[in-house]
Amino acid sequence: PECIHIDRENNKVSVSAIFSWREKDFTSAYAGTVPSVFSNRSPIERAVIGLVGPKLLTIEKDFLDKNTFQLAYAPFDWTLNDLTGRGGR
Domains: count for the chain = 1
Residue 67 domain boundaries? 4-75
Q: What is the pTM of this model?
A: 0.79
> CB within 8 A of 52, min separation 6: which ones?
1, 3, 4, 15
Establish if 85 belongs to a structural domain. no
In angstroms, what CA-CA distances link 79 with 14, 36, 73, 88? 19, 38, 17, 5
In a domain, 13, yes or no: yes
Q: What digits encode the pLDDT tens for the residues 9-67?
A: 999 999 999 999 999 999 999 999 999 999 999 999 999 999 999 999 999 999 999 99
Whether 29 maps to a domain, the answer reads yes
Please choose, from the candidates 21, 36, 34, 5, the residue with its C-alpha nearest in 3D space to the C-alpha of residue 78. Answer: 21
Q: Is residue 82 part of a domain?
A: no
